[in-house]
Structure 1
Amino acid sequence: MESSEEAITLARQMEASRMDSSLYKAVIRGRTQKLEQERQLDSQTTPNKNTILHVAAEFGKTQCVDVILKACLSLLKQVNLKGETALHVAAREGHIDVVKALVAGAKALHEELEIGTGAVRDLLGVTNNKKSTALHEAVRNRHLEVVKYLLEEDSEFPYVGNDAGETPLYMAAERGYAKLVHAILEACTSPAHDGPKGRTALHAAVSCKDKGMIEDILRKKPFLVKEADEHGWTPLHWAAYFDSSLIIIQLLQHDESVAYLKDKEGMTALHVAATRGSTCSLKKLMAKCPDCIEMVDEKGQNVLHVAVEKGQKNVVNYILENPLLGSLINEEDKSRNTPLHLLAESQNYNPKLISHPKVDKKAVNTAHLTALEIIHTSTLIKMGITERFHATQYHR
């Protein structure tokens, strides 16, 4: 008997809630009379646990919102199954008048309960199941007017990252929403700039190749030019990776020292440009910081080493044709490999490097091999494998 009753109780608990259809229709049509007649507005929810206030917010029915809040102010902070308040919904949909009405409701709640100065901040700070605030939702959906209003209400609110690690500023920058980036930087005292994987809003702006957005961020947060992501890449590394020569110039004009910063593998932005085959970026970096050509990575390799290893002939040839870069040609890495050794190991063919008058073809690495001996060793190994294969086939 008890188990049967328990089953019935469980079934009732699992049964989806539903809102009175006439009430739902009245709200989406903006008819307030039905709302004024309803005595238990707080008990009405949809299957996703949206309250009547959520519904009014979604459809932008400001007059309905006013009536609902007057009757049941506690609905302000009630959340649906996604953890969203009505403010989340209104911000996502871009209904600025509804957003204002909800914030006004929070202020009324503050006066009613005498809870100090935190009623509006509490509402702004509610996060949904993805740890996003109403501001996150307004930014994600590019609602500039809503963003500006929310920031005006509390310019010092410490907006942190959502479960994806995105702060509102980073989110705006990553999506290329330059006007939103400007609005956040102008309105906030000290807006959080973090993004996922150690990235910052400046990394995101560089990936968008937006000079104006970059300038806005650097003006408010100049230190971000040196901030590195989890791989040790600064925004300049990113600019080199994307071959954004104009952005490279912009960042170097702001702070030349970033050209000498290394990532976790010891690579500078110049190394990145070389691995990408970006001669234009290479030229811009060297024009502003000519001695950065001397930088080597954790393997002791210069830009010619990495360009040879990655098979970037255009970069290799550019370096070989530049008389100011002759010192790189025979430079050794930690294994005493010259760029010619690496060319032999890669089995690529570059006649300009092989025949360059400065190349030392007799240089030996730590294995006491010249570049020619590396080629011969590799050839013999291949021949041995082939011979063994043929011998096996023959004896079968």
Structure 2
Amino acid sequence: GTPLFAALATGSKEAVETFVQAHAVDQPPGSRLHKLCSQYRQDDDRINKFKRNFKLSNRRTVLSYLAELGDSDILALVLETGRFEANSKDDDGRTPLARAAGSGREAVVKQLLEIGKIEVDSKDKKGRTPLLWAIENGHKAVIKRLLQTGKIDINSKDENGQTPLSWAAIKGHEAVVKQLLKIGEMDIDLKDKSGRTPLSWAAGNKHEAVVELLLQTAEVDINSEDVNGRTPLSWAAEYGHKAVVKQLLKAGGVKVMHKDKNGRTPLSWASGSRLGIAVIKLLLETGKVEVDIQDKDGRTPLSWAAEKSDEVVVKQLLETGEVNVESKDKNGRTPLSWASWSLMGLISGRA
């Protein structure tokens, strides 16, 4: 690959032609390689994808770069020489197809798939397939082509246990989620290594459209727990995703008072986060919330809000008339004690 890299880096069509022709000497004049070379020579409008300041790495193959940059013309020439393996992996374990898919190079993906011997579902060192790379970056056309091969394990997991649907949910790619949900073999509630489902990720990342699509399937466990016992509502509450909390509450069946492994409820998480102000009112309005409930450390939502010196949340909780301002946690600290400690920290930090 080094001589070709050198030829490409010069930006000279003649240098590339010289390289390819050297590999075509034993082939008849009417061969496909000669035809491709002729077409390449006659293309005066061609834009060189390799600039003179392009940095090449010996960790990558020539096909890897050509696929990622979308240089289908030279890729065709190189493949036709028969000197390069279309399924070759770079040092990251990624194939040319994976590089093209991740960069959204639909023409190159089509070109590689037409070879017929391409490993469509090949995993790299992180367990990620070309489909996962395309999904992460939301390349719908590439995703469609890959799915049409019929050679995709739609529930394939990467090293973190995340599936194609997980990645689409994490990134909030609504159109991609729609594409995937049309596939019958999809396991919508598969958990990753942290125990989180696509719904959990979509809820925690404020992807309302994706949350709605997943809820509409009627196949998701709305109260699915991750390894820490946290639910989609817990994640949405902590980050103050008001619209998502509304969606989850409206769906019905959601456990508003669910305790995670630390004994914290969605209200507790919302109260302890400056982002949670918007959802506290929604949670209180359900009429199903025990406002003064203690977690495993004996701390209440008021305690968490006091630590953050969050006056608005403290006022919301006090106005319920259901909190014990003298409630002590396992260390004997009251909400007032936490508020004082927080204020002292703020003062000393500015001193």
Q: TM-score range by the shorter chain?
A: 0.7 to 0.9
Matches of 2:281 and 2:298, distance apart in 1: 22
Residues 248-287 of structure 1 correspond to what in structure 2 (within 5 A)? 248-287=211-250
Equivalent residue, structure 1, for 2:181: 218
The within-5 A match list for 1:9-48 is 27-28=14-15, 30=17, 35=22
Query: Which one-letter code corresponds to 2:217 in the other structure?
Result: H
Which of the residues 348, 351, 361 maps onto 2:315? 351
TM-score using structure 2 length: 0.72
User: 1:274 Cα shift?
Assistant: 0.7
Match of 1:181 in 2: 143
Letter in structure 1 aligned against 2:210:
I
The CA deviation at 1:176 is 1.4
Cα displacement (A) at 1:222: 5.1
Instruction: Report the structure, 1 or 2, having the larger helix content.
Output: 1
Counterpart of 1:309 (choices 252, 269, 272) is 272
Q: Distance in 1 between matches of 2:235 and 2:203?
A: 6
Structure 1: which 5+ residue stretches go unaligned? 1-15, 40-56, 67-79, 110-121, 387-396
Q: Which residue of 2 aligns with 1:76?
A: none
Please identify, of 301-310 and 198-207, the stretch whose mean Cα deviation from structure 2 is larger. Answer: 198-207
Give the length in aligned residue pairs.
Answer: 315
Structure 2 gap segments, 5+ residues each: 27-32, 41-56
Q: In structure 1, what is the Cα distance between the partners aligned to 2:5 and 2:278?
A: 68
Kept in 1, the 8 Å contact 2:166–2:198? The answer is yes
Query: What is the CA-CA distance between 1:213 and the residue it aligns to?
Result: 0.8
Q: Which amino acid in 2 is paired with 1:305?
A: S
| Matched AA of 2:289 | S
Q: Please tell me whether the aligned partners of residues 225 and 258 of structure 1 are also in contact (alpha carbons under 8 angstroms).
A: no
Cα distance in structure 1, aligned partners of 2:4 and 2:143? 40
Q: Which amino acid aligns with 1:173?
A: I
SS across alignment from 2:179: helix
* Secondary structure of the corresponding residue to residue 297 of structure 1: coil
Q: 1:103 to 1:294 in 2, by over 3 A?
A: same
Given the alignment, which residue of 36, 50, 54 partners 1:62?
A: 36
Matched ranges for 1:293-372 at <5 A: 293-311=256-274, 312-320=276-284, 322=285, 324-349=286-311, 350-357=314-321, 359-361=322-324, 364-365=327-328, 367=330
Q: How many angstroms apart in 1 are the aligned matches of 2:17 and 2:245?
A: 62
Change (3 A) 1:354 1:99: same
Residue type at the aligned position of 1:91: A
Identical positions, percent: 20
Q: What is the rounded CA distance, in whole Å, between the counterparts of 1:32 and 1:64 in structure 2?
A: 13
Whole-angstrom distance in 1 between the partners of 2:85 and 2:21: 27
Of 68, 84, 95, which aligns to 2:61? 84
Question: Deviation at 1:334?
Answer: 2.8
In structure 2, how many angstroms separate the alpha carbons of the residues matched to 1:133 and 1:380?
55
Cα RMSD after superposing both structures: 4.2
Going from structure 1 to structure 2, the CA distance change for 1:376 and 1:290 (only over 3 Å counts) comes to same
CA contact (8 A) 1:336 1:366 kept: yes
TM-aligned CA distance change 1:84 to 1:64, over 3 Å:
farther
d(CA) in 2 for partners of 1:36 and 1:298? 64
Cα deviation for residue 283 of structure 1 reads 0.6
Offset of residue 151 of structure 1: 2.4
CA contact (8 A) 1:207 1:242 kept: yes
* Secondary structure class of the residue paired with 1:292: coil
Greater length-normalized contact order (CA 8 Å, ≥ 6 residues apart): 2
The equivalent residue for 1:94 is 70
Instruction: Determine which structure has more spread, i.e. the larger CA radius of gyration.
Output: 1
Instruction: Name the CA shift for 1:26/1:202 in 2 (closer, same or farther; >3 Å).
Output: closer
Q: CA deviation at 1:37?
A: 10
After the TM superposition, which parts of structure 1 deviate over 6 Å for at least 4 consecutive aligned residues? Answer: 16-21, 31-34, 36-39, 380-383
Corresponding residue of 1:157: 119
Q: Read off the aligned partner of 1:261 and give its amino acid letter.
A: S
Q: Deviations over 1:260-280 (max 9, x none)?
A: 112222111111111101111
Q: Structure 1 stretch 173-182 or stretch 332-341: which is displaced more?
A: 332-341
Partner secondary structure for residue 286 of structure 1: helix
CA pair 282-256 structure 1, distance change in 2 beyond 3 A: farther
Residues 240 and 273 in structure 1, CA contact (< 8 A), matched pair in contact too:
yes
Shift of 1:284: 0.2
Once the two structures are superposed, residues 184-218 of structure 1 have per-residue CA deviations (whole angstroms, 9 ceiling, x without a partner) of 11114224644463333223322442222112123
